Amino acid sequence: MRIGVLTGGGDCPGLNAVIRSVVRTAATQYGSEVIGFRDGWRGLLEDRSTPLDVAAVDGLLTRGGTTLGSARVAPEKLDAGLDTMRRTLDRHGVDVLVPIGGEGTLTAAHLLSEAGVPVVGVPKTIDNDIDGTDLTFGFDTAVSIATDLIDRLHTTAESHQRVLLVEVMGRHAGWIALHAGLAAGAHLTLVPEEPFDVDDVVRLVTERFARGDSHVIGVVAEGAHPLPGQMAFREGGVDEFGHRRFTGVAQQLGEELERRTGKEVRATVLGHVQRGGTPTSFDRVLATRFGLHAAIAAHEGHRGQMVALRGTDIDLVPLARAVARLKTVPASRLRELHAFTG
Ligand code: F6P
């Protein structure tokens, strides 16, 4: 058998570990070959590929990013390129395609699968917002990085009696903010799922300083936004992929807080540092298990499915189910968070 692999969307720690795992499983367990397509779907559209054998993936387990490169491709281009992609796969004798990616990549994978292309997907995203899997690899790494950096902000905020707002990734879902906020003992965590009340934030800041607390740490997901009409808020709109654009919400909220509380506020945007570098041991293991089970599923004839973590097991779920909705933070988890606000 010959398996095609590609990585699509934003990069994410653990992608290389999946590639390595697919290649090793295919080669050592089944005597199969793997070919990697470069830069996501573009590699299929433009026929750019590289053979992947066990030697080629040596050392990839710990390396961040993706050795295949990644790119986002607009849905219209994919639609129009379906036949081209199918021809590329045929030309290389690919029996099954294993696309590793987030919501956009898996939606495209579903489209291909519906058009008859044999596909087994692997979910990835630091945002942890893919439905059907309990977790995605990359999330644990992003939370660990964010937690470490927020820990460091406590001491500088204390020294200057400041409010420090830390903006973390998560444009549609607040999983990183939720976990990093809890892990780093934030006094306030704002997520896209629940528009924030600026008056409540002002009250929290005023009350903490009034009772003698030294500082305030607020974790703000990049997709968080205020209740309508509460402050002059510059909306970012959506991009060509339907993704919420960056609004600089921490900076905007910081300016409003400074004006209304008279306290010094600083905003820190963690940005792409959350996606860079080596994956945590948790993410290496999850990525390795995803790659292993994707290769097994491909050989066992499963199609139109995605590997997923359910409890402690790796299962298969239909791609159709995984892409039907985004997995956002539920109300029960938000209630837990509220217990640590203030
Ligand atoms: O989806 C993953 C993600 O890291 C988001 O959290 C973030 O909003 C986005 O990608 C950033 O995308 P880009 O790398 O295109 O700036």
Give tens-digit pLDDT for 305-332: 999 999 999 999 999 999 999 999 999 9
Asked whether residue 24 carries a pLDDT value surpassing 90, the answer given is yes
Same domain, 80 and 158: no
Same domain, 127 and 158: no
Same domain, 156 and 78: no
Q: Is residue 329 assigned to a domain?
A: no
Protein residue with its CA nearest to atom 7 in ligand 1: 169
Distance CA 236, CA 329 (A): 22
Same domain, 306 and 269: no
Distance CA 251, CA 233 (A): 11
Ligand 1 close to Cβ of residue 169 (< 6 A): yes
Dump pLDDT digits (tens) for 172-202: 999 999 999 999 999 999 999 999 999 999 9
Same domain, 300 and 179: no
Q: Which pair of tokens denotes residue 223? A: 């997709």
Asked whether residue 56 carries a pLDDT value surpassing 90, the answer given is yes
238: CB partners within 8 A, 6+ apart:
244, 245
Q: Residue 336 — pLDDT band, cuts 50, 70, 90? A: very high
Dump pLDDT digits (tens) for 60-77: 999 999 999 999 888 788
Q: Which pair of tokens denotes residue 176? A: 């990183």
Distance CA 334, CA 322 (A): 23
Distance CA 286, CA 134 (A): 11
Which atom of ligand 1 lies nearest, measured to the CA of 129?
Answer: 1
Asked whether residue 279 carries a pLDDT value surpassing 90, the answer given is yes
Q: Which domain holds residue 96?
A: 2-138+279-324
Same domain, 173 and 267: yes
318: CB partners within 8 A, 6+ apart:
304, 305, 306
CA end-to-end span of the chain? 57
Same domain, 131 and 145: no
Q: What pLDDT does 280 receive?
A: 98
The CATH code of the domain that includes 223 is 3.40.50.460
Other C-beta atoms closer than 10 Å to the C-beta of 10 total 21
Distance CA 15, CA 17 (A): 5
Q: Which of 275, 326, 328 to mutate to test the pocket of ligand 1 (most atoms within 8 A of CB)?
A: 275
Average pLDDT in the chain: 97
Q: Residue 13 — pLDDT band, cuts 50, 70, 90? A: very high
Protein residue with its CA nearest to atom 14 in ligand 1: 10
- 162 labelled ligand-binding: yes
Distance CA 56, CA 60 (A): 9
Q: What is the mean pLDDT of residues 143-150?
A: 98
Q: Is residue 241 assigned to a domain?
A: yes
Tell me the whole-structure pTM to 2 decimals.
0.97
Written as one string, the DSSP assignment of 156-194 is: HHHHHT-EEEEEES-SS--HHHHHHHHHTT-SEEE-TTS
Which amino acid does the sequence have at 135? L
The domain total for the chain is 2
Q: Which active-site residues does the annotation give?
A: 127
DSSP class of residue 279 equals P
Ligand 1 close to Cβ of residue 275 (< 6 A): yes
Q: Distance, CA 245 to ligand 1 centroid (Å)? A: 10
| Number of DSSP helices (H) and strands (E) in the chain, helices first | 11, 11
Which atom of ligand 1 lies nearest, measured to the CA of 243?
Answer: 8
Q: Distance, CA 319 to ligand 1 centroid (Å)? A: 22
Q: Are 138 and 14 in contact (CB under 8 A)?
A: yes
Q: Which of 169, 220, 274 to mutate to test the pocket of ligand 1 (most atoms within 8 A of CB)?
A: 169
Dump pLDDT digits (tens) for 102-140: 999 999 999 999 999 999 999 999 999 999 999 999 999
DSSP class of residue 9 equals S
Q: Which residue matches tokens 């054998």?
A: 53
